[in-house]
Chains A and B, each alone.
Chain A
Amino acid sequence: MKSSATSRRGFLTVGAVAGAGLTLADLFKVRQARADQKNYAPIEAKAQSLIHIFLPGGIAHQDSFDPKPFAPLEYRGELGVVPTKIPGMQFSDTLPRTADIADRITVIRSMTHGEAAHERGTHNMFTGYKPSPALVFPSMGSVVSHEYGPRNNLPPYVCIPNQPNEFAGTGYLSSSFAPFSLGADPAAGGFQVRDLNLPGGVDDNRFGRRKTALEAVNDYFKKMEESDKLDAMDTFYERAYSLISSQAAREAFNIDAEPAELRDAYGRNEAGQRMLMARRLVAAGVRLVSLTYGGWDMHNGIAQGMRGSMPAFDQAFAMLITDLERQGLLDTTLVMVSSEFGRTPKINGTAGRDHWPKVFSVVLAGGGIKRGSIFGSSNAVASEPEDEPIEPQDLATTVYHQLGIVADKELMAPGDRPIEIVDGGQVRKGLLA
């Protein structure tokens, strides 16, 4: 398959360059273009959904999942280590609870790319591509949205609380595949998803009347005009109606329905409530939930910074894995913890660490990923990958594979350019159960 696709690319995609001059042929052209795109039969999706926990700023791998207790002090830093459920493996002592559930997760210690700027690194981790001057790539969430569409009346791609950065967006795909943002933080008191509920003073009855009126008003225009744009807008109105009218769908966003003890167990803070919300959403049918927590760009006083920010993450993440397992969701839910890069091997002059993309850690769990495993390793001072270096395109390809998407498939970018979902990535079998 690969080699025939390769030779086709050399000669046919060049011919598919377009952009102009069509009259009666649009429909056919689209079909034609589709025929030219690399396509694959569906594969089994081990993971029905993905929770992507992104730690913006670049979390220090040495002070979290890849400690180097035997390195000199200026490398290993101030934090100690704790043993984990994986025999012989240790985490930083800021992760005691995660260490306790380490037998259910896989830690990648050999993630690597060359981008030391926040936005470029973030781009790599959200799209699986290096930034290009000529094209903006879609995020994993938008690709999943594009490939699968909604499930159980719920939007396929949800961001908690908001779209975290520009690279979590639709790239060259239509903005129809944009994430649905909660627009409010589930940790905040009086949390409500933006625009999900009927406004005050409007009951179902009145909303029904409004809908009838809207249909009456739209009728005339519908008879006059025909356009794909109108159909697309209708689709989103239909989705909105089903979301508003489906009690089950709306209930997915109602974090207050979770038992108070469970909310406490996750932690009544941003990390805890966002992860709990994510679990609620995937349980209800959302395909990809993206959430962020904290700010990890610790150029100064990193030990103190980690001691401040990690406990909430540690508690919430360990609880998330436990909770997913308890609910029987862990096997079908892939959880990924990532960051745009790691941090410098040596502590700097202000007791912090600076940007370091050469090696860092990513955590995967559930959704057909190995349990209790360490994938790859960094060298003695955590400055370079030692075994099994893995780059963003391989990580993305593997994640897509678990979601049932062949990442070598091409999507159509403007100008009828077919572009692979991920270019040249490999499924890393060593990560899979």
Chain B
Amino acid sequence: MVRTSVFLFAWMSLIAVAHGEATITKINVFPSDVELSTSRDRQPLVVMATRSDGVTIDVTAQATLTPTNAAVVRFDGPMIYPVADGEAAIQVEYAGHSAQVPLVVKQATVDRPVSFKLDVMPIFMRTGCNTGSCHGAARGKDGFRLSLFGYDPDGDHFRITHELSCRRINLALPAESLLMEKTIGAVPHSGGKRFAPESEYYQTMLRWLEAGAPNDPSAVPEVLSVELYPRQFVLEGEGATQQMIARAKYADGTDRDVTNLAVFLTNNDNSAAISADGLVTAANRGEAFVMARFATHTVGSQALVLPKDLQYTPPTETPVNYVDELVNAKLHKLRLEPSELCSDDVFLRRVTIDITGVLPTEQEFQEFTADTDPAKRAKLVDRLLERKEFSEIWAMKWAELLMVKSNNDVSYKSMFLYSNWLTDRISSNMPLNLMVQELLGANGGTFTNPPTNYYQIERDTLKTAENVAQVFMGMRTQCAQCHNHPFDRWTMDDYYSFAAFFSQIGRKGGEDYRETIVFNSGSGEVGHPVGGRAMPPKFLGGDTPDVTGKDRRVVLAEWLASPKNPFFATSVANRVWEHFFGVGIVEPIDDIRVSNPASNPELFQALGDRFTQYNYDFKQLVRDICNSHAYQRSSRRNESNASDELNFAHARIRRIKAENLLDSISEVTETKDKFQGLPVGARAVQIADGGVSTYFLTTFGRATRTTCAVSEVKTDPTLSQSLHLLNGDTVETKVRDGGVVKRMLEAGKSPAEVIELIYIRAFCRKPTAEEGEKLLQIVAAAEDPQRGLEDVFWAVLNSREFLFNH
């Protein structure tokens, strides 16, 4: 509740601001401490002022920077150079605000020898030499190959120094090395001129060649982290700028300014472009994530761009819970006004489809709309959560992720037992961490302990590791199989160390020829493709655990599905969120990476935290989501949020998933389906085997369960879908054979009443007067009322309003 009051305070202060003049409320100086070691070190500062309306201004040039001891450093603009050893502070003054940055200078007169890995390798990355389209390509470019994004520095050193001897590098006349002449464009180079002879890059490479092109003696200090400043800023008006600075921290405790060595990127040029030197320039209104990549690290900062003199009235509604607080806070930052809440009938249809996958019945519609209890929406959510259809939906979702499907290696019986195991765990609301631990650590027969089928459906070690990362951590590590991930933190070391958890899976035949016994074989390693060394198992983004004498998968499972793994709860919560909003906070939900940040990082984290606090009971999470105003907004957009797609300012319409759509058609037409292996009347969500489908389900995008990617489920329209709904046997036959219209007429209903009942069943609303009139005319023109009404029913089932959840 602390958060609520803080939020409300911010809200109130903003209302005040909207009517007053913005003043500078504070200044920040980055980085917050400076350490200079050796005469080659240096550090720039950035001073950022924040206005009372939240807009930030880069005031580095206007601020005064004064060292408390002028003997230790000198300034060149905002750049600090070492002069003599000592400690001091830098006093920063701007517009009546001041700040101090502590400063340490060491070895001020000692030169640092040039290092291949620390100084030369970063130049290849910064200036684009080792990208996939240049020398980083698998076969190199024009006869010269560098490892992609520098994953293999020793190999690069070898190729530079040992290939094309005396030409690629010429130690007698270093400046005449091809390496040097190509980069400055002195000789023809497909990649053109990369930098000028007077540039620091050229000088560094020349120094290295003059030193004899040495490789580094064994290990150099690893880059532990990269910092990018400022972390968050708000630019106002086109053309506003903000200089970024990047600093790397090394394992030996030193740090270094890498603003001139990092690669700067933005994910939205249209709002905030970033120059090669890290200067961000605002353009159109919007949000961007600007990034710096150095060594294997990518870090990002959030940039918001607002137009000048924006008219904006903050909404006054009270947030229901933390979801609303965080969604509203983001909307407020962007000055977006949310849509109003949806009507009761829209809510009833939306939430019933989302939670149970079926449509509300006529009775539910009548009761809910007549109910005057102000808490009726929350009560409805509680009721829906107790229905078995809720667990069926999630059992199906998990079955898609676990690729439950019979095939050559997985007998129908194994698949069936596996599916039952999953359905049982979901319907008994087993905490998700326990379910995942049981799954990943599973040993035994595929009949006697069905979760072992996880290792039977996918038998490849690397693929298994990739799937585990993608399903339970929302991360795609595939790139790092062949090179360090270009836009994420994962290195090849990370990839193969994670795969090592799955290198000791033993398999043998069971008594029944259809059964396989999965066991811990206790031996088997994963080798790194560069050098072939056996990789010790290491958690993705975590520690290297002691696995001696233990089942590696059990060790992994205990870490993976626990609060120790920061990605489990957040990624699962993001999946749940996506189900209800049609878009994840990180989107796509199984591609969480540094360069694909959350649209609302605080919300992303809060949902993960709550999920952990709830002891991984996702029902509770669903309750929070469905009760929030964010979920209950209308899908109608207003002027302010018309083009917003990612901040939940309005509801998104979503085509109903294949299985739910078929079940809904059967429900409103009162017909039954027959699926292979299931009794007549079973519903499509209950189909256990991914190999079983029908024309309707396949055409409307049922997951084939051949991969664990979320994109397996398709909802894009196709010609076959339209033709099938228009002419195919599903709608046509069900409308006729269900006999709904016939029975209604026999019960004495008038055509107008029949239309109303059809509308309530399918749309969860009554027809408007205009609709009723138009449709009655159509019915009147038909040969007989039944046919006419069946045509209306057919039209309803073909309509957008029926096919979409809105």
Contact = CB atoms under 8 A, between A and B. Distances in A.
A217 interface: yes
B269 to A, nearest CB: 6
Nearest to B779: A213
A229 B653 contact: yes
Nearest to A240: B722
B269 A15 contact: yes
Interface in A233-259: 233-237, 239-241, 243-244
Interface stretch (B353-361, B524-532, B668-676, B711-719): B711-719
A181 B792 CA distance: 29
Contact of A243 (B598, B714, B719, B792): B719
Given A6-B191, A15-B265, A221-B801, A230 B479 contact: no
Candidate in B134, B271, B781, B800 with the most chain A CB atoms within 10 angstroms:
B800
Interface in B584-617: 586-588, 591, 595-599
Interface stretch (A46-54, A78-86, A204-212, A267-275): A204-212
B420 interface: no
Given A194-B728, A221-B799, A24 B285 contact: yes
Nearest to B711: A414
B476 interface: yes
Given A181-B720, A240-B723, A22 B286 contact: yes
Contacts of A188: none
A209 B798 CA distance: 14
A183 B695 contact: yes
B267 A18 contact: yes
B287 A178 contact: no
A200 B120 CA distance: 75
Interface in A220-234: 220-222, 224-227, 229-230, 232-234
Interface string A29-71: 1001000000000000000000000000000000000000000
Interface string B637-666: 100000111110000111100000000000
A349 B788 CA distance: 69
Contacts of A24: 284-286, 643-644
A191 interface: no
Contact of A225 (B269, B597, B636): B636
A294 to B, nearest CB: 22
Nearest to A9: B133
Given A25-B268, A217-B799, A414-B588, A134 B771 contact: no
B806 interface: yes
Nearest to A134: B478
A183 to B, nearest CB: 7
A17 interface: yes
Contacts of B723: 194-196, 240, 243-244
Given A27-B643, A236-B717, A236-B719, A194 B778 contact: no
A239 B800 CA distance: 16
B461 interface: no
Contact of A178 (B334, B596, B718, B726): B718
B718 A133 contact: no
A87 interface: no
Contact of B131 (A14, A176, A240, A243): A14
Contact of A233 (B476, B706, B717, B792): B717
A195 B270 contact: no
Contacts of B409: none
Contacts of A244: 723, 726-727
A180 B721 CA distance: 10
A307 to B, nearest CB: 29
Contact of B724 (A17, A19, A195): A195
Given A19-B595, A180-B720, A229 B775 contact: no
Contact of B637 (A7, A18, A226): A226
Contact of A175 (B131, B271, B714, B803): B714
Contacts of A224: 635-636, 806
B536 interface: no
Contacts of B714: 175
Candidate in A14, A155, A227 with the most chain B CB atoms within 10 angstroms:
A14
A17 B487 contact: yes
Interface in B311-358: 334, 336
Q: Chain A interface mostly helix, strand, loop or mixed?
A: helix
A6 B719 contact: no
Contacts of B716: 174-176, 232
Nearest to A238: B722
A409 B437 CA distance: 46
A216 B758 CA distance: 14
B795 interface: yes
Nearest to A178: B718
A197 interface: yes
B794 A29 contact: no
A214 interface: yes
Nearest to B793: A213
B141 to A, nearest CB: 8
A186 to B, nearest CB: 17
Interface in B265-320: 265-271, 274, 284-289, 302
Nearest to A221: B801
B190 interface: yes
Contact of A23 (B265, B285, B302): B285
Nearest to B634: A224
B35 interface: no
Interface string A1-18: 001001101110111111
Nearest to B276: A11
B446 interface: no
Contacts of B701: 175
Given A9-B133, A233-B803, A21 B478 contact: no
Nearest to A181: B720
Nearest to B644: A23
Interface in B721-765: 721-724, 726-729, 732
Candidate in B637, B726, B781 with the most chain A CB atoms within 10 angstroms:
B726
Given A21-B289, A229-B804, A7 B647 contact: no
B270 A23 contact: no
A367 B610 CA distance: 62
Nearest to A200: B732
Contacts of B718: 175-176, 178, 180, 236
B778 A216 contact: yes
A14 B726 contact: no
Contacts of A262: none
A176 B284 CA distance: 31
Contacts of A217: 771, 775, 792, 795-796, 799, 801
A197 B732 CA distance: 13
A25 B775 contact: no
Candidate in A16, A28, A213 with the most chain B CB atoms within 10 angstroms:
A213
A29 to B, nearest CB: 5
A214 B799 contact: yes
A198 B725 CA distance: 11
Contact of B794 (A19, A210, A218, A225): A210
15 contacts: A7-B190, A15-B266, A16-B269, A18-B596, A19-B595, A20-B587, A28-B284, A29-B268, A32-B269, A180-B719, A199-B727, A217-B792, A224-B635, A225-B636, A240-B726
Interface of B: 128, 131, 133-134, 190-192, 263, 265-271, 274, 284-289, 302, 334, 336, 466, 476, 478-479, 481, 486-487, 586-588, 591, 595-599, 635-637, 643-647, 652-655, 695, 701, 704, 706, 711, 714, 716-724, 726-729, 732, 768, 771, 774-775, 778, 781-782, 787-788, 791-792, 794-796, 798-801, 803-804, 806
Given A6-B191, A17-B487, A236-B721, 4 more contacts: A18-B268, A23-B286, A133-B478, A415-B596
Interface of A: 3, 6-7, 9-11, 13-29, 32, 133-134, 155, 166, 174-176, 178, 180-181, 183, 194-199, 202, 206, 209-210, 212-214, 216-222, 224-227, 229-230, 232-237, 239-241, 243-244, 414-415
3 closest Cβ contacts across the A-B interface? A213-B795, A240-B722, A25-B286
